[in-house]
A = this chain, B = another copy of it.
Amino acid sequence: MLEPFFLLTCPQGTLRAVIGELGLDSTAQRVGDGVHEIALSDRWSLDDGRLNGGYQLSVALRALATEVPLPDPVVASASYLRPAMPGPARVRTEVVRAGRRLATGTARLVQAGPDGAERDVLRLEATFADLAATPADPVDLTVPPALPPFAECVSFGGPDAPPGAATVGRRMRYGVPALPGWVRGEPSGDPSAEFWFAFADGSDATLLDLAFVVDGAAPVVLEMGRGSSTAQLTVHLREHPAPGPLRCRTVTRHLAHGLHEEDVEVWDADGALVAQSRQLALLL
């Protein structure tokens, strides 16, 4: 039987928070030097059964975080190589540089291929710091979305998510001033969105969860009638979010050669910028 993730794998002896949907879903044990055996949950899947890219990233980053001597991932970049499926997987980690202010590690999320041999699903490189070691002293020139209070917004996802193969939509709840065009079957042509995000079970997002949040929402190219599959995603994790729902803005500004970028920014309930991501994705 697998035990909850951080009980088994945290080398510093401190019990990091195991809270919320994502934390509790990522059971794992450390089975060797830097190697973690993970049971990937089927509760974070897309229509076709593949796992959401943000979930993969967050799970691999959690495993890597237990190996790196500084606590807070501040930047993580991931290449998506093959579909990840629910079931057994491993995360193979390597600490490549441990400095005083920054430490960097890599992680490979691997699963068995059709021939049974292990193959890379995701490659991740991340740099860690100790955010508590320096005062925040923020200078913030970003502008959070102006949204009505979450309680006054139209809610979708969570218990309202349509039943079907995609399970990831049930894990979170969005609040929007009005239902997006693509949800109503009328794509707006404007590839941008502003919305509240919360986990459906009411738990607060942690710094590590933000690596999921930035890829948790539907791609805004849906407003152009296009689907999307992430090829590469880089996320900056800048601050531990205050408790409460998150404000998010998603924008795509460039499509060419069958590829598009998508930027996501996330602010916490206190209005602090907590994450910025950019991905390059294949247009489907």
Contact = CB atoms under 8 A, between A and B. Distances in A.
A112 interface: no
B255 A139 contact: yes
B136 A236 contact: no
Interface string A137-155: 1111110000000000000
A136 B257 contact: yes
A97 B122 CA distance: 10
Contact of A231 (B102, B231, B280): B102
A261 B280 contact: no
Contacts of A101: 258, 282
Main secondary structure of the interface of A (DSSP, over half): strand
The 9 nearest A-B residue pairs measured at CB: A77-B77, A138-B256, A234-B234, A139-B255, A141-B253, A81-B97, A75-B232, A75-B280, A134-B258
A278 B233 CA distance: 12
A255 B96 contact: no
A123 interface: yes
A211 to B, nearest CB: 14
A135 to B, nearest CB: 8
A200 B136 CA distance: 40
Interface stretch (A4-12, A124-132, A242-250): A124-132
A212 B105 CA distance: 24
Contacts of A16: none
Interface string A108-126: 0000000000001001010
A278 B234 CA distance: 9
Contact of A129 (B238, B257, B273, B278): B257
A221 to B, nearest CB: 9
Contact of A125 (B79, B104, B131): B79
Given A97-B120, A254-B273, 7 more contacts: A74-B231, A74-B257, A77-B125, A102-B282, A129-B257, A129-B259, A142-B253
A239 interface: yes
A129 B259 CA distance: 10
A276 interface: yes
Contacts of A134: 257-258
Contacts of A97: 79, 81-82, 120
24 contacts: A75-B232, A79-B97, A79-B127, A81-B96, A81-B104, A82-B97, A96-B123, A97-B120, A127-B231, A127-B280, A129-B257, A129-B259, A131-B257, A136-B256, A137-B256, A138-B256, A139-B255, A140-B253, A140-B254, A140-B256, A141-B252, A236-B261, A238-B256, A278-B278
B82 A255 contact: no
A114 to B, nearest CB: 15
A106 interface: yes
